[in-house]
Chains A and B, each alone.
Chain A
Amino acid sequence: MFSRRNLVTYAIALLLVLAFNFLLPRMMPGDPLMAIYGEEALVQMTPELKANLVERFALDQPMWQQFGAYFGALFRGDLGYSYYYNAPAFEVILGRLPWTLLLVGLSLVLSTLLGIVLGIESGWRRGSKTDRSMLAGLMALNGFPDFFIGMVLLLVFGVTLGIFPLAGALTPYSGLSGGALLLDVLKHLALPLAALTLAHIAGAYLLTRNTMITVVKEPYMLTARAKGLSQRVMKYRHAGRNSMLPVITRTGLWLGRVVTGALFVEIVFSYPGLGYLAYEALLARDYPIIEGVLLVVALFVLVANFLADLSYPKLDPRVSYAR
């Protein structure tokens, strides 16, 4: 199903990501150690520790050996040490990752599904009132950045109406468990999720609607009608199924945008995911964390793209990769 060429493409992309992450701190002017560990850490360091670190990153060695060492460290899950959090960067990031995954994953699924369904409904009755108002509404929504929508939601539902909590992912020290915990999580998730989803519906919606408009004119839709099928079957099984294909191929592409969007939305809601972590780290100049987050996000997008590619042939039988 999957061609070698595609795999090679992914491998190259992966290498590029790694190389970039490796080179970035080393290209910065000044002491690479400072770039890797940050100013603060450097001041606190004893000379022995410093020597130790130089050796560990092979900083006195030629570039390619440095790369080898970096690679080896990565392999061991060593992203460096965060002096700000006083823990290995990898652990810090891992602790925050689930929240981002939750936010991004749900919002991606929701925005794609909603976008597709709305796109199908809208394209099916193109030119009708429903279609026109949906189109106008979503186009308008599309114009705002996600963090802006987040801020509006926060102000309206959090501050003014007070329905949802203003920050965090959990009520601290509440000691909740079971159903109550789940409810608490959902309550905290609702606004950031809504912000991110609303900001990204339009993409899937517009694409589905556009495809739908051409699909309903396809001869096989006439066949479907001639067969005496019900509206629902015609709309979803015949037209919809074909109209969502382009959306699925672009999921990978959107994922990148949703992830970056999530980083900002997290900051708005102080949601303890990777975005908020990166923000904190930035303020504290905790470079290992920032670099780690960048790396994880890049890897994440890459993997998701790969999965979307894998699923596409299952959805559109006409696509079959040459072996």
Chain B
Amino acid sequence: MLRIKDLRVSYGREQVLNGIDLEVKAGECLAVIGESGAGKTTLCLSIMRLVEGTSHGHIFLNGLDLLSLPEQSMREIRWRQVSMVFQNANSALNPVHTVLDQVMEPIVEHRLASRAEAQRRALQLLANVGLSPDRSSAYPHQLSGGEQQRVLIAMALANNPGLIILDEPVSSLDAASRAEIVALLKQIARDHTFVVVTHDLSTAARLADNIATMYAGRIVELGPAAEVLSRPRHPYTRALLRAYPNMTTVKDLQGIKGKMSRPVAGCAFHPRCTQAIGVCAEKTPPLVSSQGRYLACHRGGIITLLAIRNLSKSFGSFKAVRSVSLDIDAGETLALVGQSGSGKTTLAKTIMGLLQPDEGGVYLEGKRVTSRAKDFYRKVQMVFQNPGESLSHRLSVLELVREPLDVQGIGTREERDQRAKRTLEEVELPASGGFLESYPHQLSGGEMQRVAIARALVLNPSLLIADEPTSFLDPGVQAKILKLLLNLQERRGLSMLFITHDLSLARKVSDRMAVMLSGEIIEQGPSNRVVSSPVHPYTGSLVQTASALHSESEAGETVDQPGAEARSGMTIG
């Protein structure tokens, strides 16, 4: 139906679309998602050939290359073969004509029917989209936002075009009318082909068969909607999903680091990408097919930072860890949930090389870890439960944070001090005077844990393993430390293995969750899925106890629930 090849659009010297390739089959709904400024609206307008700038490439609609048509033929195609539902219904309708006139106008002007017939059809369409009949002779300003949107939809349907483009069809509506309009669109989508541009992911999720993620004028990921949303593979798509506040994402709201900037050499996303490598800044990755999806990334999408394969460990006859396999992606937080004695800590210690596995192995960035030398610890660091035990009491704060650098032999003494101080600032501790000289026993629990975190982060690792990092702290401090960890993760693009017995805590911080029972991983998946529809009965019981506790004691304290609901009406900007 619609095929776009290497579409490039520029306004003057500003390149807005940088080579878009897309295909939409008849009857399909493609959602294009991305931040504002990614070029989504320009893409819509280019298909209608309504952009002001210059376009290159090809847009085939039913086999006809629209970009090569003379304006007159294009005029005939507009609205007959492709129509559009514009952003912001209020200003897209002409204030001085009744909505009925505006809906019937394209029928009459394209000479598809007589005036009387056109009027009859327009009335029917308005009724079909749920506008009450007495409103049809109203002027746009007399209608509510939802009604105006319905009028726009009826208008788009007027000439029964094969393809309908919807540019942010619900973004200007309140939550209630939004749901109604989406339901209406869903129904219309049954016998129309849609291209929906939106930054509202829940709309995309409800309507789309396929989802394309756009970033700085390029498609960076394209695949079946359900898969893209549940397991995004491009770092940007994941960031977008994370930043999107809705009721099914349980993790705390997290922005995407940095801002979209253009033009950028190489992969446009690399200044914000947490797994960028040298080549990312030099060459633009092409959009290539990869396991049922299209991805534009030099590293084939989000990489698996740490892979654990069939790892087993027993103490005598006690099998603490039984053939565990786990993947931790770059930039993600995996929560490992289980009771004490389930083998979580043993697993963590085995990863760190503090214990030797009986079987199986650990792979870091695809390479099997055989010995754990300085290299390994530069990339993987751990924060323990009890900072009182893990921090040596004979060293001052500055010495504690600097020690890993000393061991690795990085830089001069001066530089190491500087770096240690900077890291202390990052964990929101004073980096001057007396505090640097103090010793662990002079610090509070929260301060000690911050020092421990600084010590783990000073080497700039890719993976942080945090074993119940807040269990020794009182609730107020606990929340602050969690927030700090999340902030650091966002800023540095850290991956985190977050070990906890507390399911409600896990759901707040993690993208994915693995539940461990008696040394085995019994369930894993996206956190929201695991919590909302657990598969294993044990997970179910965990969810129940957690939610019971939740409603009893934590009502005021949790960050997530009510806030997330209130925010669900918002969209990322």
Q: CA A218 – CA B90 in complex, angstroms?
A: 11
A158 to B421, CA, bound (A): 96
Q: Across the interface, do B92 and A227 meet the contact criterion of CB distance under 8 Å?
A: no
CB-CB nearest in chain A for B95: A318
Chain A 67-109 interface mask (CB, 8 Å, partner B; 1/0): 0000000000000000000000000000000000000000000
Interface pair A226/B109, CB less than 8 Å apart:
no
Report A-chain residues with C-beta under 8 Å of the C-beta of B492: none
The CA-CA distance from A218 to B92 in the complex, in Å, is 8
Instruction: Choose from B80, B93, B96 the contact partner of A223 (Cβ within 8 Å).
Output: B93
Q: How many residues of B contact A (CB 8 A)?
A: 30
Judged by a CB distance under 8 angstroms, whether B141 is at the interface is yes
Q: With A226-B50, A228-B106, A233-B109 in contact, is A220–B78 under 8 Å at CB?
A: no
- With A230-B109, A318-B139 known to touch, is A219 a contact of B92 (CB < 8 Å)? yes
A228 to B80, Cβ gap below 8 A? yes
A245 to B48, CA, bound (A): 30
Q: A219-B86, A317-B139 are in contact. Are A228 and B75 (CB under 8 A)?
A: yes
CB-nearest residue of chain A to B93: A220
With an 8 A cutoff between CB atoms, is B77 at the interface?
yes
CA distance A237 to B48 in the complex (A): 22
Shortest Cβ distance from A222 into B: residue: B50
Question: Is B88 part of the contact surface with A, judged by Cβ < 8 Å?
Answer: yes
B105 touches A226 (CB 8 A): no
In whole Å, how far is A264's beta carbon from the nearest beta carbon of chain B?
37
Number of A residues, CB within 8 Å of B: 22
Verify if A285 is at the interface (C-beta below 8 Å from B).
Answer: no
**A223 with B139: in contact, given A228-B76, A228-B77, A228-B78 (CB under 8 Å)?**
no
Residue numbers in A under 8 Å from B76 (CB-CB): 228
| Chain A: minimal CB distance from B206 (Å) | 25
Given contacts A229-B105, A233-B109, contact A317 B91 (CB under 8 A): no
B338 to chain A, nearest CB (A): 55
Residues of chain B contacted by A317 (CB below 8 angstroms): 95-96, 98, 139, 141-142
Shortest CB–CB separation between residue B44 and chain A, in angstroms?
10
B349-366 interface bits toward A, Cβ cutoff 8 Å, 1 = contact, 0 = none:
000000000000000000
Which of chain B's residues 294-321 have a Cβ closer than 8 Å to chain A?
A: none
B129-160 with Cβ < 8 A to chain A = 139, 141-142, 155
A159 within 8 A of B: no
Give the complex CA separation of A238 and B92 in angstroms: 12
A-B CB proximity, top 3 nearest: A228-B78, A317-B139, A219-B91
Show 30 residue pairs from A and B whose CB-CB distance is below 8 angstroms, ordered by the A residue: A219-B86, A219-B92, A220-B93, A220-B95, A222-B92, A223-B92, A223-B93, A225-B78, A226-B50, A226-B78, A226-B79, A227-B83, A227-B105, A227-B106, A227-B109, A228-B76, A228-B78, A228-B109, A228-B110, A233-B105, A238-B94, A241-B94, A241-B96, A242-B96, A245-B96, A317-B96, A317-B98, A317-B141, A317-B142, A318-B141
Interface residues of B, Cβ cutoff 8 Å to A: 45, 48, 50, 75-80, 83-84, 86-88, 91-98, 105-106, 109-110, 139, 141-142, 155
